[in-house]
Chain A
Amino acid sequence: MLAVHFPALQVVLPLLAAPVCVLLRGARLSWLAALSVSWAAFAIAALLLAEVLAGGPLSYALGGWAPPWGIEFRVDAPNAFVLLIVAGIGAIVTLYAPKSVAREVGEERAHLFYTAYLLCLAGLLGVTITGDAFNLFVFLEISSLSSYILISLGQDRRALYAAYQYLILGTIGATLYLIGVGLLYQATGTLNMVDLAQRLASLHDVRGVRVAFAFLAVGLSLKLALFPLHLWLPNAYTYAPSAVTAFLAATATKVAVYALLRFLFTVFGAEFSFSALPMGPPIAMLAVLAMFTASIVAIFQENIKRMLAYSSVAQIGYMMLGISLVTVEGLTASILHVFNHALMKGALFLAMGCIYYRISSVHIADFAGLAKRMPWTMAAFVGGGLSLIGVPLTAGFISKWYLVLAALDRDLWPVAALIVLSSLLAVIYVWRVVEQAYFRPPPPGHDTREEAPLALLIPTWMLVAANVYFGVHAGLTVRAAGRAAQTLLGGAP
């Protein structure tokens, strides 16, 4: 049966398709290969999630070596949900890629773009699906190395320097993670996450384990751009090609958030992470600082891609805030926001790609009267923007609603107030763009309609539609995120 091997195929398909793209050479052929593989990965992720929600966790022994000796791919509710969003965004961005890549990277290098892109996708899926702490490091580096390459493909020469800075900081983060894994191995003699969790239960007072926790937490926080470790993010997102920005903004930091969740809750256990070591207050404080500092910085950006990048740092604050509450409700809100934020940022950055395709600029000054020239693109931007603010009937509303409820549930009404207040900052920075595009006259000679091609508009609108769909029919995502939260806190299998 093929279905038994779905956990392995999830990662192996894009991994094998990457070298195939180099061999195919042609832009069109390699795109077709990438497209079919990424949609196949999406279908596999959807089937895996359905299977896990119906029948509990799946364990796949790679190469037939039984865990804990061999590498185990373990799919349960939290990572099946993250797999779905990573594979989903991967599939939609591939659909979007050809015109945007031809414009920003060049036809002659397109096959290399798809190679790096598929490697990055395979790495991110691997980080999410693996149940082995060292294997996670390897996949983390596969995805990181390919994302440095993808970022450096940007047209502006500053993309090179942004990729270099990300390489230095990203490698420091991954190396810190590696030190943490080494210390854990020293204390327990195992690398399998389930096995680690069992053995660590009686080792809470060992100093090496506490040091390992510190290294893992800081290393992963660097990868997920927790304020103030976010310095690599704004430049990388600003200067990368549009399709790359959309893909990385929607998936890379989310996967790192998942890895942190996995270590905080599954490997170390909530008891150790939040009672023995009081990690709740510091995480909450950094989260609130991220929400406000990054949002305020976003308001003053002239480059809209950079504005959205700072907004991403702020949104990661919401995810971390939910984690710091250490309740099923808080975690549900965090995991929901991982999913919903991927949808909204994906939509917004794809809309940026459409705009760049036509006017070769993402500076706010060039946005004057843009709604007349590109009505559909700007409408997509407004749709994504409303979701970012958290307006009812959009996906963003659902996750913020659950986050506010979770904070109130713990009687933390000042925190709930801060969540609402920081959402108002999002209103300001989205409104700046809307005002410029809808209420300023276009520059003379540019008042004709010049909409982005359908090949770019359709994937963008698919994500905008997903924002509305999951804002109205929130049942599926809330149920999956709730199950994921219960699994992480040890409530459900």
Chain B
Amino acid sequence: MPVRDYLRERFFPHMWCPGCGHGTVLNALLRAVEKLGLDKNDIVMVSGIGCSARISGYVDFHTMHTLHGRALAFATGVKMSRPELTVLVPMGDGDALAIGGNHFLHAARRNIDMTAIIMNNRIYGMTGGQFSPLTGYGCFGTTAPYGNVDHDFDVVELSTAAGATFVARSTTYHVIELADIIKKAITHKGFSVVEVLSQCPTNFGRRNQLGSAVEMLETYKKQTVPLNSKAAQDAPDKIRRGIFVEKERPEYSNEYKKMIRTATGES
């Protein structure tokens, strides 16, 4: 199994709960990396804090487990300094969009070449089930015992508005599609965002009567449709999956390289 070559097997079984979608995201990510044939020494994974952030401990890359919300800021330093490296930044929804929201917007604005994977389980799992910026109106969490009055972000719209040049969404049910999207996101030259709907049966599913991990995956299957499909036309309320944005815009570290040529009078 080539995928296992990318794992730090001594830490398995991993720490995620039974049925947690984050393991499936890891699974799909490694398949994407394997298909691209990337050298482990050329990959840096930078994560923040939370259940999602533990992903960096399990992969045999250069790995940096940083501070809550700050992964993209650390990763920016890595990428600027060594643009030839592939930089992967998996984040949780609270990690990426609450405490790390500002870093997220600015990494997208700069269009720096890295892949942000938002593992959206709509909850702060590690701290026990508090609502996140993606929990959504009316849902329940330990800090939303009467139903959440906070509205959620649409990650795709947010990323697009902020300037990300690759924006996609998939789920842990649609694993072949997910691996393919992550592969394209890594290959994309610029800031790419992949939102993955990832089930948290323990802390989100249970509090919102969404059933087991299997039932939550059934929901992803039934409540999402491929972008621009017949199914999407027929069901305007369902969640769209696929690649929403894929465009070219000058990439940050590349532009900086040009600036160095200007500054040194080489151009």
A binds B: no
Give the interface of B toward A (CB within 8 A): none
Give the interface of A toward B (CB within 8 A): none
